Structure 1
Amino acid sequence: MMSNLVYLYLLSPLHTGGTTQEGNLLGIARESHTDLPYIPSSTIRGRLRAETPDGKRALLWGNTIDDVTEGTDKNLKQGALWIGDGSVLWLPVPSLSHGVVWISCPMLLQRWKRLQGETVNVPEYSTNLKNGKPVYLKDAILKDEILKEWNEWQKFIPSSDATASVKRVLVLPDQHCATVIQMGLWRQVKVKLDEHKTVDGGFRYEEAIPPDTVMYFPWGITSQANGDGNQFSTDFQSILTSQSVLQIGGQESLGRGFVQLSMANQAKAENSKQEATV
Structure 2
Amino acid sequence: MNTVYLYLLSPLHTGGTTQEGNLLGIARESHTNLPYIPSSTIRGKLRASVQDKTERFKLFGNELNDDTTTQLEQGNIWIGDGSILWLPVPSLSHGVIWISSPMLLRRWAKFNNTQLNIPSEYSCNFKKSASAIYLKDAMFKAEDLLDWENWKQFLPQNTETTSIQQLMVLPDRHCSTMIQMGLWRQVKIKLDQHKTVDSGFRYEEAIPPDTLMYFPWGITSQANGSGEQAFLDFQSLLQQSSIIQIGGQESLGRGFVQQWI
In structure 1, what is the equivalent of residue 125 of structure 2? 128
- Alignment check: 8 A CA contact 1:68 1:75 kept: no
Give the 3-state SS of the residue equivalent to 1:187 in structure 2: strand
Superposition pairs for residues 33-44 of structure 1, below 5 Å? 33-44=31-42
For residues 255-274 of structure 1, the aligned pairs below 5 Å read 255-263=253-261
What is the alpha-carbon distance in structure 1 between the residues aligned to residue 247 and residue 200 of structure 2?
Answer: 25
Q: Distance in 1 between matches of 2:10 and 2:85?
A: 16
Q: Say which SS state the counterpart of residue 56 (structure 2) adopts.
A: helix
TM-score by length of 2: 0.96
Which runs of 5 or more residues in structure 2 are unaligned? none
Q: Matched residues in 2 for 1:104 and 1:139: separation?
A: 17
Q: Is the 8 A contact 1:190 1:206 kept in 2?
A: yes
* Structure 1 segment 243-262 matched on structure 2, within 5 A: 243-262=241-260
Choose the corresponding residue for 1:194, options 192, 195, 198.
Answer: 192
Match of 1:238 among 236, 239, 258: 236
How far apart, CA to CA, are the structure 1 residues paired with 2:82 and 2:232?
A: 21
Structure 1: how far apart are the matches of 2:119 and 2:32? 19
The structural deviation recorded for 1:195 is: 2.2
Match of 2:83 among 84, 87, 91: 87
Q: For 1:224-246, what per-residue CA distance to the aligned partner results, in whole angstroms no more than 9, with x for missing partners?
A: 22351111111111111111000
1:159 counterpart residue number: 157
- TM-superposed CA distance for 1:12, in Å, is 0.1
Partner of 2:178: 180
Query: Hey, what does 2:209 align to over in structure 1?
Result: 211
**Whole-Å Cα distance in 2 between the matches of residues 32 and 61 of structure 1?**
26
Task: Please state how far the C-alpha of 1:157 moved relative to its aligned partner.
Answer: 0.7
Letter in 2 for 1:62: G
Question: Displacement, 1:121?
Answer: 2.6
1:68 deviates by 4.1
Point out the more displaced range, 129-138 or 182-191. 129-138
Q: Tell me whether 1:64 sits opposite 2:60 in the alignment.
A: no
Identity %: 67
Distance in 1 of aligned mates of 2:106 and 2:70: 44
* Cα distance between partner residues in 1 of 2:235 and 2:193: 48
Q: CA deviation at 1:42?
A: 0.3
* Aligned twin of 2:50: 52
Q: How many residues align?
A: 258
Q: How far apart are 1:109 and its partner, in Å?
A: 0.4
Letter in 2 for 1:50: A
Secondary structure class of the residue paired with 2:222: coil
1:118: which partner in 2? 114
- 2:21 aligns with 23
Amino acid at match of 1:5: T
Q: Secondary structure at the match of 1:202?
A: strand
Determine the structure 2 residue equivalent to 1:266.
none
Say if 1:68 and 1:76, in contact at 8 Å, map to a contact too.
no
Distance of 2:103 and 2:71 partners within structure 1 = 41
CA distance in 2, matches of 1:53, 1:61: 12
Distance in 2 separating the partners of 1:8 and 1:164 = 14
Determine the structure 1 residue equivalent to 2:96.
100
Report the 3-state secondary structure (helix = DSSP H, G, I; strand = E; otherwise coil) of the residue aligned with 2:119.
coil
Comparing both structures, which one devotes a greater share of its residues to strand? 2
CA contact (8 A) 2:119 2:148 kept: no
Which secondary structure state, in structure 2, belongs to the residue aligned with residue 224 of structure 1? helix
Q: Does residue 7 of the first structure (1) align with residue 29 of the second (2)?
A: no
Structure 1 gaps, min length 5: 264-278
The letter for the 1-side match of 2:61 is G
> Which segments of structure 1 move beyond 6 Å, counting only runs of 4 or more?
none
